[in-house]
Every structure is written in structure tokens, then in C-alpha cells.
Structure 1
Amino acid sequence: MPALIEIERLTKRFGAFTAVDDVSFSVARGEVVGFLGPNGAGKSTTMKMLAGFVTPSAGTARLCGEDVLERPVAAKRHLGFLPEGAPTYPEMTVAGFLGFVARVRGFGGAALRERVAHAMRLTTLEGVRLQPIETLSKGFKRRVGLAQALLHDPPVLVLDEPTDGLDPNQKREVRALIAAMAPEKAIVISTHLLEEVEAVCTRAIIIARGRVVADETPAQLAARGPDLDTVFRDLTLPAAVAADPGAAPGTVTEPA
């Protein structure tokens, strides 16, 4: 089955510092990939390049065969992106913001109303549909960000910490939603939660110091240790110690 996400030798440099270094992987329809790494490992930079928000220094990425550099608009039509922090227009109501996103995506009339209503149902936002976003809790704001990513039913989802700020029940609901959508989509999830990888992911890709250091099943990842701190230390300690014997395990200083 052809991959819906293709990343080839993606690299991003900020001056003399290399934040993402020659990263390659692909994601097929039906796969949910957990994208993991210590703080500052290059996760968010990789996801922003995949989404077309950051221009790579080298390499490329394709969404459903469309190159994000050569055909950015066509590529983004296939993408639902939940960035870190899920920026919105805080003075808008939930329904108003989602309606704005739907219009940007090219919907109007009855189709727009149905897309907005469906996105709110999926993310359980009907009860706050007329509230200004700035009045919502962190968890509800995160759900608004998820709703805008799902609104146009894209075949590719790139989700940066989708359950951040949610309570345990809300986390279960979002994970169940991701699992239900997974057979028809290619999904990449950035997360710090091993339980999330075990719950919804079919693969786990681990990045450290800008390079992929592991591509495993959730079972293989869990076998490395009881939590991700242990896993990161196991995977990054030898290189870190070799580079700087006085460095703490997994210590990194580069931007995300």
C-alpha cells in the first residue's frame, strides 16, 4: 500500500546548529505512528516541516504524493494539523472559529454547517459552541484545535500532543476517536506518554538530537522500560556520554 506520508532526508539548520538531521520515514494508510523524543529532540520542528510551516534546509516531505515545497496548497488539502499550543482566534466563539476554518477550506452553506457540527460532535464541543475561546479551559481549547484539524476529514493527521491538558476521561475519548479514524488515515502523534503509544499507536519512532534512533512496535518500546524517561536514557546515553562525559543522560539544549 502506498504511503500517505513520505519524509526523505529532512534536515533543518538554524545557523550552525542542526535541529533535524537527515530524517526519513513513511506512514501508510491505517498506521498510527507515535513520534517521541526528549524535549528539544527535533519533534516539533519535524512536524512543522511536514505540515509546511517551516522550510527545510534539505530534503523533502510529501502528503498523498504532493510535495509540501513544490505544491504546498495541494499538499495541505490532504492534511489536518494540530500544532503545539493549537493557536486560535481567542475572541471568536467555538462555532464562529470552526465556521471560519470551514470557509478557508472552501466549504459554504449546508456543507459548512454540517462540517462544523460534525467536528464539534467528534470532539464533544456542543456544550461550549457559543463561548469565546479565550474563556475555555486548556482542555477545551485543545479540543477546539483538534476539531479544526478534523473538520475537512483529511486522509493525513499530524497531531502534536493531542491529549495535552485533557482530564483522564477526555483522554480516553480522544484516543478512542483516533483509533476509530485510524483505518482510513495516516496519523502521526507527538506525545510524551507511553500509555498513549500503547493505546493507539501501531509504530513508535524515537528521535534524539535531531536523528531517528529507533523505529519499533509499541510492544518493543514498552519492553525497553516502564516509562519514556527510561527509554530515552537507554537510547541516548551512550552517544551523550561519548560526546560529553559530564552531561546528564538525555540532556539536550536544542530547540524543539
Structure 2
Amino acid sequence: MSIKVAALSKSYGAQKALDSITFSVKKGEIVGFLGPNGAGKSTLMKILTTYINADSGTASVNEYDVATQEQLVQKSVGYLPEHNPLYLDLYVKEYLAFNANVYKVAKSRIEEVINLTGLTPESHKKIGQLSKGYRQRVGLANALLHNPDVLILDEPTTGLDPNQLVEIRQLIKNVGKDKTVFLSTHIMQEVEAICDRVIIINKGKIVTDTPLDRLVTEKEQILEVEFDFKVEEQLIAQIPNLVSYKNIHDMTWELVFSAQEDMRPIVFDFANNNGLKTLQLNQKNKNLEAIFREMTQK
């Protein structure tokens, strides 16, 4: 396992930031780590990168224990914290050269990460002259400098404009082809665009740990349908695979199904068989944002 966490807890005074959480991440996965503010996301990332210690439980990265094998963990991890710490007076190449010396990696690696992160057009500038998007690229380039097996990214797209968001997402997705990526974010579209799996944490506890496709597709199928005539409840109840139904207004019904197949053709057939016309049919399946709210507001 690239990341393994077992019964991990951390408190700040009376506040329990992490409450005995357990999960693992396989090599090559891109995992979105979600939760409201104060849920414990940054605390976990700081523990995994050896910045702080847990109160109890264990955690390892690339089979190295974060509490007893700090240097080996640090060599295995590329970390981009939420507030990207950069020296704004240094040139891009100067900053990366400084960190290359710290990591004791070959100078040729600097050009490799500049190309990999799309920094080439701006690499001659001081970091302070760069846009927020390019500063994030510098942070990612620095995280990749020592070619780590695991990338831990804490809110990597905070403050970016829509174009920059797309560029950084694509960059993370490309990097994730041969590395494990553990990604914290508040942006649900980001998770839907790049992640294989979702872990949601709330009040220090994991409330779900599920592959993204299963989390979204296995939820109930919700259809809103309007017929051309008022339909009796007894007739609606005959539609196959119905979990529940509700008359919203006159001839409009909300139908909730539990089924893997698309139920829209079934509703059309029901209308046709009963001499009805379907005036309107809308799918209202829950997206990740709705699922997140549901999980974190219980």
C-alpha cells in the first residue's frame, strides 16, 4: 500500500481533529479526500508528511512509518500544502535549483519538472511575477523534483480562475498516471474530473470511502415526469422498481427508482400503455456535491 492509516487520532486540546480513522490507498490511485472546514483534512496530511505527530494509531507511506522513519517518508512524498510556501524574490529555476540541492537530485531534473508542469514559458521570471496558476505549477514542480512515489496535495487549486483550474487538474491527472495522488479539495468538480475514489471525513470521522463511479451511480435514480392527464396514485405505484413517488403538482410526479438500468424508457412505456403522453421527463440524480452535503450534514 502507498498509504496506510490505522486507528489514527489527533486532538488539539478538547477538540478531536481525527477520531480513530482507518483507510489505505493503493499504488497508482488518485484519491479525493473531502470534508468541511475543520473536519481534519489538513491535520491528516500534516501527519502523513511528518510535520506533526498523531496522538495514537499508526500511519505509513510506502511502508515507512511516519513516526519512526521520517526521512524515508519525506523522500517518498511530494507535498504541496494549502498555502504554497515560495520565495517570491527567487527566479523559478533558482528556486528549483535550491531545492534540488536540498534533495540531492541531479540538476537535469530541474528542466524535467519544468517541462512536466508546463512552466517553460515562465521559467525565466521571478516567482513574484507569476500568476497564481503558475505559482501553483512551481509548487507542483518542487513537489515532483525528487520524483516521489506519492503526491499529497492540500487544496492545490484554491484561488485559481476557471482556465487555471482546468490546466492544473489536467496536470494532476497526467502526473497521477504513474504516481499515487492523495488530494484534498473543496471543489467537487475537481474530484469528479480526476479522482478514482472518494474519502469523506466529517468531525474527525470517515463517513464514506467509496470508488467515485459507485458513489455516484449506485445512488437512487430520480425522475421528474409530467403527463398530459392527471394520473391516480394506484396506477403510478404499478411502475417497476419504484422506491417511492410523490405528486409534485397536478400532472407532475417525482419518481424514485432503485435500478441499474436507465428507467426513462420504462416510464415512456408506462405512459404509452396507459394512453398517456409524456410532456416532460427530467433526470435529477444526485451529484457529488449533493452526496457530500448529505454525508456531512447528518
TM over 0.5: yes
1:236 aligns to 2:296 (yes or no): yes
Give unmatched runs, 5+ long, in structure 2: 220-285
Query: Which residue of structure 1 lines up, in the alignment, with residue 113 of structure 2?
Result: 119
Percent identity reads: 44
2:287 is aligned to: 226
Counterpart CA distance in 2 for 1:43 and 1:220 is 23
Q: CA RMSD in A?
A: 1.7
- How far the C-alpha of 1:146 sits from its partner, in A, is 0.9
Q: How many Å separate the matches in 1 of 2:90 and 2:118?
A: 18
C-alpha separation in 2, matches of 1:126 and 1:182? 21
d(CA) in 2 for partners of 1:214, 1:73: 31
Bigger fraction of residues in strand: 2
Per the alignment, in what secondary structure is the counterpart of residue 234 of structure 1? helix
Q: How does 1:203-222 map to 2 (within 5 A)?
A: 203-222=197-216
Match for 1:187 among 181, 203, 210? 181
Deviation above 4 Å: which 4+ runs of structure 1? Answer: none
CA contact (8 A) 1:161 1:190 kept: yes
TM-score, reference length from structure 1: 0.84
Summarize deviations over 1:151-189 as a string: whole Å, max 9, x none: 121111101122233333433333333333334222101
Q: Distance in 2 between matches of 1:58 and 1:90?
A: 38
Residue equivalent to 1:153: 147
Asked whether the 8 Å contact 1:139–1:164 carries over to 2, the reply is no
Which position in structure 2 is the counterpart of 1:91? 89
Pairing partner for 1:135 from 123, 126, 129: 129
Amino acid across the alignment from 1:204: V
Distance apart, 1:59 and its partner CA: 1.6
Native 8 Å contact 1:142 1:164 kept in 2 = no
Whether the 8 Å CA contact 2:91–2:123 is kept in 1: the answer is: yes
Q: Which has the higher contact order (CA 8 A, sep 6+)?
A: 1
Report the counterpart of residue 43 of structure 1 in structure 2.
41
5 Å-filtered alignment, 1:24-39, equals 24-39=22-37
Deviation at 1:193, TM superposition (A): 1.8
* Native 8 Å contact 1:38 1:232 kept in 2: no
Deviations 1:126-164 (A, max 9, x none): 222232222322222111111111112111110112223
SS of the aligned residue for 1:158 comes to strand
SS of the residue aligned with 2:182?
Answer: strand
If the length of structure 2 is used for normalisation, what is the TM-score? 0.73
Deviation at 1:11, TM superposition (A): 1.1
Give the whole-Å Cα distance in 2 for the aligned partners of 1:226 and 1:26. Answer: 25
Question: Aligned residue for 1:8?
Answer: 6
- Of the candidates 149, 157, 169, which is equivalent to residue 175 of structure 1? 169
Q: Aligned partners of 1:8 and 1:90: how far apart in 2?
A: 39
Contact 1:201 1:218 in 2 (8 A): yes
Distance in 2 between residues matched to 1:216 and 1:49, nearest whole Å: 23
User: 1:45: Cα distance to partner?
Assistant: 0.8
Residue in 2 aligned with 1:200? 194
What CA distance in whole angstroms lies between the structure 2 residues aligned with 1:65 and 1:25? Answer: 14
Name the structure 2 match of 1:77.
75
Aligned length: 231
Distance 1:190 1:218, change over 3 A: same
Please say if residues 36 and 296 of structure 2, whose CA atoms lie closer than 8 Å, have aligned partners that are also in contact: no
| Structure 1: runs of 5+ lacking an equivalent | 239-256
